[in-house]
Amino acid sequence: MFSELKRKANQLIRFYKFWQEATPNQNDAVRPEPIPVNLEEIKQKLSTEFAGCDDLITREIFIGKTQKKCLIAYIDNLANNQILNDNIVKPLLLVELPEGLLEQNDSQIADIIMSRVLCNSSLQIKDNWQQTIECLMTGDTIIFIQGSAKVLVAASRGWESRTVSEPQTETVVRGPREGFIEDIGVNCALIRRKLKNPNLKMERMTLGRESKTQVCICYLQGIASRELVQEVKTRLSKIDLDAVLESGYIEEMIEDAPFSFFPTVGNSEKPDVVAAKLLEGRVAIVCDGTPIVLTVPYIFLEALQSSEDYYTRSISSSLLRTIRIICFYVSILLPAIYVALLGFHQSVLPLNLLLTISASQEGIPFTPFVEALFMGLTFEILQEAGIRMPRAIGQSISIVGALVIGEASVRAGLVSDPMVIITAITAITTFILPPLQRVLPFFRLAFTVIANILGLLGVFLLLIAVVVHMCSLRSFGVPYMAPLAPLVPSDLKDVFIRVPHWALLTRPRSLTWQETGRAKSHLAKKNSRL
């Protein structure tokens, strides 16, 4: 028995040694590839690595009146030609340096050119080939110098981009009309314009093995909790994708509940909205190549809020917010309640209303449940067609299609008049809540199905289940239903109603769980003046 155990132990030891030899040590850092000192070797290496890439431009020139050569490499249409000619090529050709200065200092030649020759606003020295190629692919100009193992990286990014304009998805009557674009530098500058504070930190990182997409983490130091910032960095660092082409890639990788219908990561296209969320203690994630900026944590009440609520008077904004809350319930419950009342609870309806509905149902071959499914599917098809069609005719097709199909369905005796009215009201209330526009159809269908089976009892049971599910969700550690569950009385001033700005004395405690003041008491100021 002892010999058998000894044999098993030896087998385990041999297997462990074999596994150690086969598994690379993660602690061993990958040795960086150095820069060749010979220009011919550099050109050969570039032609091999960029074989078939006709947009790679290389030019070999002499530095001033010396015999020292340098090789300039850049990607066409990614580098700005004016910056390249005026700030890089011309200074290198026309420079006058002391005789023998460059020939005698091969190890310091890059520093000499950087300090005495080039007049570019941003210059870096690299000694890693892989880092040099990454800078080249982002639009920078690379200067290889004969005899030097270091290269100069000059900022020359100047590709064509869209101008700052009003976003199409978040229109407002009162408030800023500027929106993000596809350039991460411009987007970060738009946020910086709103918050002129050195505590606004912007930390960049690269995601995507093939795309090398730049991502910027924005937060206000001293307001956003350290744990939240560290959690965002940790989740982003764990993303291992070949490409990140839009912020939606990041959203699916960092969200807390990937199988829930409710979003746990917010997004916006307006710099003022992102700035307001940063002031509340949230963290923004800016992705290059998209105008959509992510914000975390995200709670449910943000879907019922609008940036315009804080630009108008508190009385009118509170009324509009109350209307949005009512529209949320109407959008998901109205078809289900109609189906449940006609199928199970006819006695609840007034006699005159019941007779009117019964008269409209005369000759209809389908049940109210089938009518609701047919009209709901028709509405979703028209909505999708209006979005995908060219902008010039998309809106016309949606409006004309809805009118024609609705009128034709009623005349053909396929759908009753009350169902057309209910579908129209449901569609209008859905558009009032843009953040939940993709979520509401699923819940509307689920409530309609359960209403056809169990009536109002099923509707209330499913509603309780949805509320319980929402209370169980978290977004980066913050309860999804905060500040209602758990209840934070100090944060109720900006939930169902919006109190005046002079009464918003503290930031949302449910986000940071610390007392952070945002304004002084208006009444205290008035008493001090008296």
Tell me the pLDDT band of 232, cut-offs 50, 70 and 90. very high
> 60: which strand partners?
71
Alpha helices, DSSP H only, in 284-367? 314-343, 351-361
pTM: 0.83
- Compute the half-sphere exposure of residue 192: CA atoms within 13 Å on the CB side of its CA: 11
- Percentage above 70 pLDDT, the chain: 86
Pick from 36, 90, 35, 41: which is nearest to 61 by CA?
Answer: 90
- Distance (Å, whole) CA 424 – CA 221: 47
Tell me the pLDDT band of 145, cut-offs 50, 70 and 90. confident
Give 395 or 453, the one with higher predicted confidence: 453
Question: What average pLDDT does range 82-93 have in this prediction?
Answer: 84
Radius of gyration of the chain (CA): 32
Give the pair of three-digit tokens for residue 309.
Answer: 């609520």
If residue 391 lies in a helix (H) or strand (E), which one and from where to where?
A: helix 391-411
* pLDDT exceeds 50 at position 64: yes
- Are the C-beta atoms of 223 and 507 separated by less than 8 Å? yes
Q: Give the per-residue pLDDT at 414.
A: 79
pLDDT in tens, 370-424: 888 888 888 888 777 777 777 666 566 666 666 677 777 777 777 888 888 888 8
- Are the C-beta atoms of 78 and 138 separated by less than 8 Å? yes
pLDDT in tens, 306-354: 888 889 888 988 999 999 999 999 999 999 999 998 888 888 888 888 8
- Distance (Å, whole) CA 442 – CA 377: 11
* DSSP 3-state of 524: helix
Question: What average pLDDT does range 2-26 have in this prediction?
Answer: 52
Domain ranges of the chain: 39-154, 184-298, 314-443
> 286: which strand partners?
216
Which own/partner pairs from 435-439 qualify as long-range (CB within 8 Å, at least 24 positions apart)? 435/263, 435/266, 435/302, 435/303, 436/303, 436/328, 439/261, 439/262, 439/263
User: How many residues does the structure list for the chain?
Assistant: 530
- Distance (Å, whole) CA 326 – CA 433: 11
Pick from 519, 178, 495, 434: which is nearest to 309 by CA?
Answer: 495
| Phi-psi map region of 295: left, alpha, beta (phi>0 left; psi -120 to 50 alpha) | beta
- Distance (Å, whole) CA 267 – CA 290: 11
Q: Write the single-letter amino acid at 372.
A: A
Tell me the pLDDT band of 105, cut-offs 50, 70 and 90. low
Q: What is the 3-state secondary structure (H, E, C) of 417-469?
A: HHHHHHHHHHHHHHHCCHHHCCCHHHHHHHHHHHHHHHCHHHHHHHHHHHHHH
Instruction: State the burial class of residue 268 (Cβ atoms within 10 Å of its Cβ: 0-12, 13-18, 19+).
Output: buried
Alpha helices, DSSP H only, in 141-295? 184-194, 226-237, 247-254, 271-279
Pick from 249, 208, 250: which is nearest to 232 by CA?
Answer: 250
- Distance (Å, whole) CA 60 – CA 73: 9
- Distance (Å, whole) CA 57 – CA 119: 21
**Highest mean pLDDT range out of 97-101, 111-115, 322-326?**
322-326
- Are the C-beta atoms of 129 and 394 separated by less than 8 Å? no
Q: Give the per-residue pLDDT at 23.
A: 44
If residue 369 lies in a helix (H) or strand (E), which one and from where to where?
A: helix 368-388
Which own/partner pairs from 281-284 qualify as long-range (CB within 8 Å, at least 24 positions apart)? 281/220, 281/223, 281/224, 281/225, 281/228, 281/507, 281/508, 281/511, 281/512, 281/516, 282/219, 282/224, 282/511, 283/217, 283/218, 283/219, 283/224, 283/228, 283/229, 283/232, 284/191, 284/217, 284/218, 284/219
Lowest mean pLDDT among 21-35, 41-55, 107-121: 21-35
DSSP for residue 487: B
DSSP for residue 125: E
Number of Cβ within a 10 Å radius of residue 237: 10
Q: Give the per-residue pLDDT at 398.
A: 63
- Distance (Å, whole) CA 227 – CA 225: 5
pLDDT in tens, 252-310: 999 998 888 899 999 999 999 999 999 988 999 999 989 999 999 999 999 888 888 88
Number of Cβ within a 10 Å radius of residue 14: 10
CA distances from 260 to 201, 251, 442, 466, 471 (A): 32, 13, 11, 11, 12
Q: Write the single-letter amino acid at 409.
A: S
* DSSP 3-state of 242: coil
Q: Give the per-residue pLDDT at 435.
A: 86
Q: Write the single-letter amino acid at 449.
A: V
Question: What average pLDDT does range 491-513 have in this prediction?
Answer: 82
